[in-house]
A and B are shown apart, each in its own frame.
Chain A
Amino acid sequence: MRGYRQRAVRASRLSRVAEAWGTLPERTRSLTPVVIVVALAVTYPFYVDSVPTNLPVIKTVPPLHDAVTILVFVMMGVGLNIVVGYAGLLDLGYVAFYAIGAYTAGWLASGQFEQVKVHFGAVGIPSSATGIHISIWLVLLIAAVVTAVGGILIGLPTLRLRGDYLAIVTLGFGEIIPQFVRNGDELHGFDLTHGTFGISPIDPPGFGHTLNSAIGLPVRYDESFPPTPDRLFFWTILALILLTLFCSMRLRDSRLGRAWIAIREDETAAGAMGIPLMRTKTWAYAGGAFFGGIAGAYIATFNSGAFPTQFDFNISVFLLCMVILGGMGSLWGVVVAGTILAWLNFDGLGNIGSWINTTLLPSSHQIDVPKYSFGIYGIIIVLMMLFRPTGLIPERRRKREIEEATHGGPLDQPLYEMRGADEPGAGERGEPGKVPRG
């Protein structure tokens, strides 16, 4: 009798856990995975070194130093998601924002302008050092604002254009800005960007002696021994990403965010409903640029330099690939896809490549997998577009849009483009024989 009861208890334990889970408030249930992921991420620096390095296929998880870069790229992916995912504006020049952010940090926190001597809250810089040295925390904010203004300036003339023209104009900006940076070392004899050498060194972040003695925050990030600096950089970018995600989420559900989504779904209809198209689109640009600027400035201080070779067109496509793989507009999708892709880019492809070479291929036919990284991203983009345009983790609303588009019906075509009045399909919803034209 007792044994039977014990078995029954054991069997029902799982279902009872599931039942208890079901009775929890919706909010708790949806927050739990987030909390688990964040906890795993925050403690990452402590267990990263104890992960075995001989795992099949992927070999190992990224070392802490690479993890920081990966997270910076995820942050840019989330920023691009605002432009491409929410507002449906194809931006092929996001790298320009990254560059503006990085160079703002370079100008405001290094010895680049040796003609002047400005110090404001910078840590660990001798007061005799020339150049502008502003506290990195402030620089991150300034870079974000400067980049957002840059986004508005780029956006104002170009956002009147639709779809593919906009893509090509942003692409143009994405090409002009790196070239400007590369050639900007002799503008009428003035060295603005230090040309191909880039600006280096850039001041490290830190909290200074006052905060150190008060609550024990580190004086400056790079002065202690490894792995401490990487840990500090890691936690900081994690905090920045969480902030970005929070803002991005709140933006999406705000009045502005709903306006973006309305524009993405049908620009003409959105305009007819009284949404100011230009202003709303410009804000999407500014919002995306804002986070791109922070990410750029942060990676500049992390690498202690801003170099023109960092700002290839390839980076823009790489970020776009994150957004597409994750699902346009899907925040969690972009985070997951961004982490995977950025990891692939910095460590993964190399690791997977060497695994393939050692286990699958004879030594006479080795493939240099990282060399073809962008071909692989290209294949990912095309395959996603052909077979799963909603992305890996589709946003519910976005999925409906795509399905509406593919299953025919009156909402067949005009997802992004309203047809002109003189084109076929215009005004077809009118009464038969009384087709409204024009």
Chain B
Amino acid sequence: MALIGLTTGAVYALVALGYTLVYGILQLINFAHGDVFALSGLFATTMIGGAVFGLTDTSTTLGVVGGLTATFVIAAVFGAAVNSSIEFVAYRRLRSAPRLAVLITAVGMSFIVQNISLAIYDVNARSIPPLISGHTVFNISGVVYTWDAFFVVLVTAPVLVLLTWLVKSTRQGKAMRATSQDPEAAAIMGINVNRTISFTFALAGALAGIGATLYLVEFNIRYDTGFTLGLIAFTAAVLGGIGNLTGAVLGAILIGMIQAFNEGLSWNAPGTAWTKSIVFGILIAILVFRPEGLLGERTPEGA
């Protein structure tokens, strides 16, 4: 059960990181992020399906590996492009506006992106053929862990390492951290603040694209999948302490496990129908009792 939670948590982690990155730099809850996730996922189904790579469950191993890798890259680029254009079209003009205005704009953008998905992909849920085998990795006293679930974790881990390296050790990452601490001082130090913010949005979008493709391995995606999933991922980000990268991953894995235990245990658990309530209940409880999250630092915002 914990392992299934780990798989779901891995996807949540990728999305939650997107929220946390953007929040860290702009103090903005990017409501549209979940919908960028859904749109990239739907785009990935087009890539994998008949139109471009034409992968099916009978494709050769090499074909699957090549096709999937290409899809990950393309979905990431696509998500990055969508997310940074949202920033360019809407949020950039509102840099000096009250924060409430930006937040409301984000809600509006969320609906716009969702309807773009609706216009292109209609209301049907899209999925991809089972490319990764559902064979068992190991089986400990009845607890079965399959390759497709393991694959998600297998991809997420290096992405997280890469992200950490990017933020901690590169020039661009340094610029991001500087901007998030103090945009004005960063600008004085010669950092192009607008470009850094764009880059952050692109990075968040890319993570959403990768997350969406991974999500497809296990589930299917509809135009409105992003809304609920985005909220759950946001809860994860808040649980870990918003603005804190490690926290987002930890929170996501915790939320994934809570969800898995809730839906998987047959005794004393309310079950799937109550998942949303439980997750949002946690969200409310954290915001009320510990707004800085598990790993976050206390900010004036929460006090």
- The closest CB in chain B to the CB of A367 belongs to B119
A207 to B119, CA, bound (A): 49
Q: Say how far A217's CB is from chain B's closest CB, in angstroms.
A: 43
Q: Which residues from chain B contact A379 at a C-beta distance below 8 Å?
A: 108, 112
Tell me which of A52-60, A158-166, A277-285, A345-353 binds B: A158-166
- The closest CB in chain A to the CB of B301 belongs to A162
Task: Establish whether residues B115 and A374, one from each chain, have CB atoms under 8 Å apart when the complex forms.
Answer: yes
Is A276's beta carbon under 8 Å from chain B? Answer: no
Task: Establish whether residues A320 and B284, one from each chain, have CB atoms under 8 Å apart when the complex forms.
Answer: no
Is B101's beta carbon under 8 Å from chain A? Answer: yes
Within 8 A of A (CB), among B81-125: 90, 93-94, 96-105, 107-112, 114-116, 118-119
Is B2's beta carbon under 8 Å from chain A? Answer: no
Q: Which residues from chain B contact A317 at a C-beta distance below 8 Å?
A: 107, 111
- The closest CB in chain A to the CB of B300 belongs to A420
Count A-side interface residues using an 8 Å CB cutoff: 51
Return the contact of A179 from the options B185, B227, B231, B274 (Cβ within 8 A). Answer: B274
Is B236's beta carbon under 8 Å from chain A? Answer: no
Q: Say how far B251's CB is from chain A's closest CB, in angstroms.
A: 14
Q: Which residues from chain A contact B299 at a C-beta distance below 8 Å?
A: 420
A179 to B284, CA, bound (A): 16
Candidate in B102, B107, B299, B300 with the most chain A CB atoms within 10 angstroms: B107
Task: Establish whether residues B28 and A164, one from each chain, have CB atoms under 8 Å apart when the complex forms.
Answer: yes
Return the contact of B277 from the options A180, A320, A324, A380 (Cβ within 8 A). Answer: A180
Task: Establish whether residues A416 and B287, one from each chain, have CB atoms under 8 Å apart when the complex forms.
Answer: no
Task: Establish whether residues B287 and A382, one from each chain, have CB atoms under 8 Å apart when the complex forms.
Answer: no
A290 to B302, CA, bound (A): 28
Q: Which residues from chain B contact A375 at a C-beta distance below 8 Å?
A: 111-112, 114-116, 118-119
Tell me which of A5-13, A31-39, A168-176, A354-362 binds B: A168-176
Is A417's beta carbon under 8 Å from chain B? Answer: yes
With A372-B119, A375-B115 as known contacts, state yes or no: A169 contacts B107, CB within 8 Å. Answer: no
Q: Say how far A369's CB is from chain B's closest CB, in angstroms.
A: 11
- The closest CB in chain B to the CB of A383 belongs to B108
Q: Which residues from chain B contact A180 at a C-beta distance below 8 Å?
A: 277
Task: Establish whether residues B99 and A163, one from each chain, have CB atoms under 8 Å apart when the complex forms.
Answer: yes
Task: Establish whether residues A424 and B182, one from each chain, have CB atoms under 8 Å apart when the complex forms.
Answer: yes
Q: Say how far B270's CB is from chain A's closest CB, in angstroms.
A: 8
With A163-B99, A168-B29 as known contacts, state yes or no: A381 contacts B118, CB within 8 Å. Answer: no
Task: Establish whether residues B276 and A165, one from each chain, have CB atoms under 8 Å apart when the complex forms.
Answer: no
Q: Say how far A332's CB is from chain B's closest CB, in angstroms.
A: 21
Task: Establish whether residues A183 and B273, one from each chain, have CB atoms under 8 Å apart when the complex forms.
Answer: yes
Is B297's beta carbon under 8 Å from chain A? Answer: no
Task: Establish whether residues A165 and B185, one from each chain, have CB atoms under 8 Å apart when the complex forms.
Answer: no
Task: Establish whether residues B105 and A163, one from each chain, have CB atoms under 8 Å apart when the complex forms.
Answer: no
Return the contact of A165 from the options B101, B102, B182, B287 (Cβ within 8 A). Answer: B287
A367 to B283, CA, bound (A): 39
A5 to B97, CA, bound (A): 59
Return the contact of B283 from the options A168, A183, A377, A415 (Cβ within 8 A). Answer: A168
Task: Establish whether residues A320 and B107, one from each chain, have CB atoms under 8 Å apart when the complex forms.
Answer: yes
Task: Establish whether residues A167 and B109, one from each chain, have CB atoms under 8 Å apart when the complex forms.
Answer: no
Main secondary structure of the interface of A (DSSP, over half): helix
Q: Which residues from chain A contact B105 at a C-beta distance below 8 Å?
A: 381-382, 385-386
Is A389's beta carbon under 8 Å from chain B? Answer: yes
With A161-B302, A169-B287 as known contacts, state yes or no: A179 contacts B100, CB within 8 Å. Answer: no
Is A406's beta carbon under 8 Å from chain B? Answer: yes
Is A118's beta carbon under 8 Å from chain B? Answer: no
Is B234's beta carbon under 8 Å from chain A? Answer: yes
Task: Establish whether residues B108 and A382, one from each chain, have CB atoms under 8 Å apart when the complex forms.
Answer: yes
Return the contact of A175 from the options B102, B276, B288, B300 (Cβ within 8 A). Answer: B276
Q: Which residues from chain B contact A253 at a C-beta distance below 8 Å?
A: none
Is A436's beta carbon under 8 Å from chain B? Answer: no
A172 to B98, CA, bound (A): 23
With A162-B301, A424-B182 as known contacts, state yes or no: A389 contacts B97, CB within 8 Å. Answer: yes
Is B54's beta carbon under 8 Å from chain A? Answer: no
Return the contact of A374 from the options B94, B111, B231 (Cβ within 8 A). Answer: B111
- Against B, the Cβ 8 Å flags (1 = close, 0 = not) of A132-158 are 000000000000000000000000011
A167 to B30, CA, bound (A): 12
Task: Establish whether residues A165 and B112, one from each chain, have CB atoms under 8 Å apart when the complex forms.
Answer: no
Q: Say how far A321's CB is from chain B's closest CB, in angstroms.
A: 8
Q: Say how far B42's CB is from chain A's closest CB, in angstroms.
A: 15
A158 to B105, CA, bound (A): 22
Task: Establish whether residues A405 and B111, one from each chain, have CB atoms under 8 Å apart when the complex forms.
Answer: no
Q: Which residues from chain A contact B283 at a C-beta distance below 8 Å?
A: 168-169, 172
Q: Say how far B217's CB is from chain A's closest CB, in angstroms.
A: 27
A210 to B257, CA, bound (A): 62
With A162-B301, A172-B284 as known contacts, state yes or no: A183 contacts B28, CB within 8 Å. Answer: no
Task: Establish whether residues B101 and A169, one from each chain, have CB atoms under 8 Å apart when the complex forms.
Answer: no
A194 to B118, CA, bound (A): 32
Q: Which residues from chain B contact A372 at a C-beta distance below 8 Å?
A: 115, 118-119
Q: Which residues from chain B contact A424 at a C-beta distance below 8 Å?
A: 182, 184-185
A313 to B274, CA, bound (A): 17
Is B41's beta carbon under 8 Å from chain A? Answer: no
Q: Which residues from chain A contact B231 at a C-beta distance below 8 Å?
A: 171-172, 175
A371 to B116, CA, bound (A): 11
Task: Establish whether residues B107 and A92, one from each chain, have CB atoms under 8 Å apart when the complex forms.
Answer: yes
Candidate in A182, A313, A379, A385 with the most chain B CB atoms within 10 angstroms: A385
- The closest CB in chain B to the CB of A425 belongs to B184
A347 to B288, CA, bound (A): 41
Task: Establish whether residues B107 and A158, one from each chain, have CB atoms under 8 Å apart when the complex forms.
Answer: no
8 A-B pairs whose Cβ atoms sit less than 8 Å apart in the complex: A175-B277, A375-B111, A378-B111, A385-B90, A385-B101, A406-B97, A417-B98, A420-B300
Lowest 6 A-B CB distances belong to which pairs?
A: A375-B115, A378-B111, A381-B108, A172-B280, A420-B300, A382-B108
Residues of B bordering A, CB below 8 Å: 27-29, 90, 93-94, 96-105, 107-112, 114-116, 118-119, 182, 184-185, 227, 231, 234, 238, 273-274, 276-277, 280-281, 283-284, 287-288, 291, 299-302
Residues of A bordering B, CB below 8 Å: 88, 90, 92, 157-158, 160-165, 167-169, 171-173, 175-176, 179-180, 182-183, 313, 317, 320, 324, 371-372, 374-382, 385-386, 389, 405-406, 412-413, 415-417, 420, 423-424
